[in-house]
Amino acid sequence: MSHLISQLLQKRQFISNRSYELGVQLLDRKVFLKPDTMVPIRGCLVLRIKKKQINIPSLTVQLIGKTQLDKSTEIQINPKRQWHCNWMEQGTYYFPFEFLLDGNVPQSFSHHIANVSYFLQIEIINPGSTFKVQTCRTLLTVVKCQVYPEVEDSIAFGNWRNLLIYRMSVNNKTIYLGDFIRINLKFIPLHYDRYKIHRVKITLVQHTQRERKVHKDKVPLYNREPPGNDLELKLPIETGYIKFKKNNVLLYPSITLSNTDGVLEISHKVEISLLVEEISCSQKSPLSSICSESTKSSQSIDDDWTMSNASMIDEAGTLRNKRIQLTMSTKLQVLRHESHLGIEPPPSYNYTLKFPPDYSMGC
């Protein structure tokens, strides 16, 4: 009991005076949203009476959600949980509660033009106190769990001038801030000496759209000459980057917020490009045919499938002696770092063992 009280005092999210102390204890301060599912928020109020006897006519706790977009604010208020206590003797009292949060609400979010927050507001009425009504708030972190994006191709492959067959693939289109994006690149040479791959460039693009205004941030993840024909890349996704050694680029979770004043949408995609060039040759080199035969003998089943299905790249109007970019882009869903915890089971009533089993209801 004393440990529970001291824990509340350390977090400073409580009401305290000479007569009583009041705070809230939650099973989990992080709430994980799942679409079309009502998510429980469970906890209890902890009231410690210091005097021999005081009058507490009412205790209430309420779940409140607040969305700010530009200068407009919308507040979602859930029904109160209220206790009528009246006269209470010295001791510690526990008041369990549960709220249900719609899994389709926006997650907690902080941006310079938008903010989404959730908190529990506690209120106590004490006629004998200087302040008849006292309140305090406990902030909740509401986190969106993984939701798979629309089905779309995350593999691109093609045949470039019968010189090179390539395959690009993005293995995880849902990524967590602070985690990695995994990309595979496969090059199947048809004529080693007739082309050169100058550079592989991989860029994460963040679009921030407010009405008709669109701001684009590009974060280079990889930009170099490939060291071989088979690349398995594991690229870190940080929450912030320094751009041109001057401006910071902050990455935000993918989100869509709307209110009566409009819509804010933050979306992401990854772009992969190969910078290739054909090397002119007056006649076919013997090495070229040797390489082609050795390539065929070492091909895997995946390579066979890629070679048989790769279509010729349409380069109408392109000069053959110019460097060419072969590109691929695909949408990503970027989630908060904590979102990966959402695959774990939510707190259950078994966790009420954290609370004293002999708690008493003071009213």
Span 196-214, average pLDDT: 93
Q: Which two tokens stand for residue 101?
A: 């949060």
Residue 356 has pLDDT above 50, yes or no: no
pLDDT of residue 2: 43
d(CA 89, CA 107): 41
275-301: pLDDT as tens digits: 999 987 644 444 444 344 444 544 565
Whole-number Å distance between alpha carbons of 27 and 31: 10
Of the listed ranges 28-32, 315-319, 328-332, the least confidently predicted one is: 315-319
- Residue 42 is predicted with a pLDDT of 92
Q: 155-338, what's its fold?
A: Immunoglobulin-like (2.60.40)
279: Cβ contacts below 8 Å, ≥ 6 apart = 193, 194, 195, 196
pLDDT value of position 322:
84
pLDDT for 276 equals 94
pLDDT tens for each residue of 218-269: 999 999 999 999 999 999 999 888 765 566 889 999 999 987 778 899 999 9
Q: Please report, rounded to a whole number, the percentage of residues in the chain having pLDDT higher than 90.
A: 45
**pTM of the full structure:** 0.78
Query: Is the predicted pLDDT of residue 186 greater than 90, yes or no?
Result: yes
Whether the pLDDT of residue 354 is over 60: the answer is: no
Instruction: List the structure tokens of 36.
Output: 């079309």
Determine the Cα–Cα distance for residues 264 and 298; give it in Å rounded to an integer. Answer: 51
Give residue 3's pLDDT band: very low, low, confident or very high (50, 70, 90).
Answer: very low
Pick the range with the lowest mean pLDDT from 150-154, 245-249, 338-342. Answer: 150-154
Domain edges within the chain: 2-144, 155-338
Name the pairing type of β-strands 133-144 and 30-33. parallel
Q: Which fold has domain 2-144?
A: Immunoglobulin-like (2.60.40)
According to the model, what pLDDT value does residue 295 have?
47
- How far apart (Å, rounded) are the C-alpha atoms in residues 256 and 69? 11
Note whether 2-144 and 155-338 share their fold: yes
Token code pair at residue 80: 């109160």
Of 33-42, 63-72, 303-312, 325-334, where does the model show the most confidence? 325-334
pLDDT of residue 349: 42
Contact partners, residue 313, CB within 8 Å, separation at least 6: 158, 159, 160, 161, 326
